[in-house]
Amino acid sequence: MDLKFFALRSRAVLGAVSALVLAISMAPTNAEPLFNVTVTSNGTTTETSFTNAVDFIDQTTTSEGLTGLNPAYTISSIATVMGDFRGVDYSLTYPDRGSTLIFEIPDLDISQTFSEATREASEDALDDYLVTNQDNILTRLGEFLVRTTATDPVAGNPASLQANMISSDFGLGSGFGGNGSVKVNDDNTVEETSGGIPGLAARLGRFSVDGNDGTVIELPLSYVKPLADPRWAVVLEMPLTYVDIGGSQSYSASLGGGLRVPVLDNWSLTPSVRVGGVGSDDFGAFAFMYSGSVTSSFRFTAMGLDFNLGNMLSYISTTGSPNDGEKSPDYDLQNTVTRNGLSASGRTNWRLFDQPTTWEASIVNTQIFGDDIYIDNFTDFAISLGTVQSRNGLTWDAARLGITYTIGNHGFKKVNVNFGYKF
């Protein structure tokens, strides 16, 4: 590829990605804040919303913070604090003018009374109770969030780190949507060992569930290194993900690697491993995850079209929090996953960058077993158009633009615009 052609294509790629980012950012949103509190004291009731979990907890569990939320509150007030932490209701009650503080989470059957020498000391005792995970409260809270809500950044919904790692492993091994792997020409001949094929992509989406709207931006980086026999290849992928729900933002990343092993000329298996992490002060969520999977890709031709049958079995687990000792949910999740799909593709008469193009349509279903999560069954419907490039006996999708529509249980709906480019 000459430098002029590369520069032309690169400008087109950057223009397409910029247009997609602008389109997503301009889309309307009705998302409500995820953290809400009502404070009643001395006949006065106030309501306040937050987008940051750390600020929310710090301000709603101390007298100093409550004074800022309700001007009628004093350190000797009888008061009730009703909090909503991402869908989990809790209460703080000061039943008299003394130091007693009652903390309750009805959904977890938790009720604790703190009666220290002063009200401030009782609040410090509550803080210690949360930080040290007494009664396993943080672990129970994390499990409850992923089991009953669709907004947790760790698991429980198709915008979470868990779901992203699952879809990334599947794409890495199956090649759906132009991801992950390269296709070998029918004659399996190469004039020389091919160099590696780096790639970048942008996936920009909006989703809605249970009255919450969110925005997801993913930037997957990939690298495919075919071996001397190009049916064998080392495949690497690292998606970077940003999620915004109700003004609360989270960031996650994972790194996965696998080895594509040919079983037949048209059938390959890709065992892979992946590690990932998510962190967000806004959500008050921090977790590491790891996964191991085996993905099958079986390609065949029928009715003049190329088909790809993809199947994956995966195990994925959390492995502790990078933020131990803080007032954030602790996660203890172990899940087994199946992801199965079928794609069909065919050539078009249209050319882009002076390259032939193909269309592809696919349907992929994901089911998650093991520990309970809120959305454990979802299906992706995708269609895309892209260019085809060949070198040294290899054929791969050089540039691909598409749309994915995802539906899941509990009314989950998500639309993604996808753009991928391999050099």
Q: What is the pLDDT of residues 107-140, one digit of tens each?
A: 999 999 999 999 999 999 999 998 888 888 888 8
Mean pLDDT across the chain, nearest whole number? 86
Cα separation, 152 vs 328, in Å, equals 12
338-370: per-residue pLDDT in tens? 999 999 989 888 877 777 888 999 999 999 999
Using the predicted structure, report yes or no on whether residue 21 has a pLDDT greater than 60. Answer: no
| pLDDT value, residue 2 | 41
Q: Which residue has the higher pLDDT, 320 or 169?
A: 169
Using the predicted structure, report yes or no on whether residue 213 has a pLDDT greater than 50. Answer: yes
User: Are 224 and 217 spatial neighbours (Cβ–Cβ below 8 Å)?
Assistant: no
| pLDDT value, residue 194 | 56
Tell me the one-letter amino acid at 315: Y
In 191-329, which ranges are E strands? 197-209, 212-226, 233-245, 248-264, 267-280, 285-302, 305-318
Tell me the average pLDDT across 149-175.
Answer: 92
Distances (CA, A) of 182 to 111, 254, 280, 396: 57, 21, 35, 5
Element (H, E) at 137: helix 137-148
| pLDDT value, residue 115 | 94
Q: What share of the chain is helix, strand, coil (3-state, %, to 5)?
A: 20, 50, 25
Q: What percent of the chain has pLDDT over 90?
A: 58
33-70: per-residue pLDDT in tens? 889 999 999 999 999 999 999 899 989 999 999 999 99
Cα separation, 323 vs 279, in Å, equals 9
Tell me the one-letter amino acid at 147: R
- How, if at all, do strands 394-408 and 412-422 pair? antiparallel
User: Are 345 and 329 spatial neighbours (Cβ–Cβ below 8 Å)?
Assistant: no
| pLDDT value, residue 31 | 61
> Which pair of tokens denotes residue 325?
């000792």
Residue 260, CB half-sphere, CA atoms under 13 Å: how many? Answer: 34
Distances (CA, A) of 67 to 93, 94, 119, 153, 199: 15, 14, 14, 31, 53
| pLDDT value, residue 104 | 96
| pLDDT value, residue 312 | 97
Tell me the average pLDDT across 10-37.
Answer: 57
Supply the angle between the helices 119-131 and 137-148 in degrees, to the nearest 10.
70
* Chain length of the chain: 423
Cα angle 395, 396, 401; round to 5: 145
Token look-up 């059938």 returns: 267
| pLDDT value, residue 285 | 87
| pLDDT value, residue 351 | 78
User: Are 138 and 53 spatial neighbours (Cβ–Cβ below 8 Å)?
Assistant: no
Using the predicted structure, report yes or no on whether residue 295 has a pLDDT greater than 90. Answer: yes
Q: Please give the radius of gyration of the chain, using alpha carbons only, rounded to the nearest integer.
A: 25
User: Are 57 and 69 spatial neighbours (Cβ–Cβ below 8 Å)?
Assistant: no
| pLDDT value, residue 389 | 67
Burial of 153 (0-12, 13-18, 19+ CB in 10 A): buried
Tell me the average pLDDT across 145-169.
Answer: 93
Distances (CA, A) of 42 to 49, 74, 94, 95: 21, 9, 12, 12
Q: Which residue has the higher pLDDT, 275 or 285?
A: 275
In 99-211, which ranges are E strands? 101-105, 110-114, 183-184, 197-209
Q: What percent of the chain has pLDDT over 70?
A: 84
| pLDDT value, residue 7 | 45
Tell me the one-letter amino acid at 386: G
Cα separation, 251 vs 322, in Å, equals 14
| pLDDT value, residue 189 | 54
| pLDDT value, residue 186 | 64
What is the strand order of the sheet 35-41 is part of?
A: 44-50, 35-41, 79-85, 88-94, 101-105, 110-114
175-195: per-residue pLDDT in tens? 886 666 677 766 655 444 456
Confidence tier at 390 by pLDDT (50, 70, 90): low
Using the predicted structure, report yes or no on whether residue 422 has a pLDDT greater than 80. Answer: no
221-263: per-residue pLDDT in tens? 989 888 888 889 899 999 999 999 988 999 999 999 999 999 9
Confidence tier at 408 by pLDDT (50, 70, 90): very high
- How, if at all, do strands 183-184 and 394-408 pair? antiparallel
| pLDDT value, residue 179 | 65
Cα separation, 356 vs 153, in Å, equals 39
User: Are 198 and 422 spatial neighbours (Cβ–Cβ below 8 Å)?
Assistant: yes
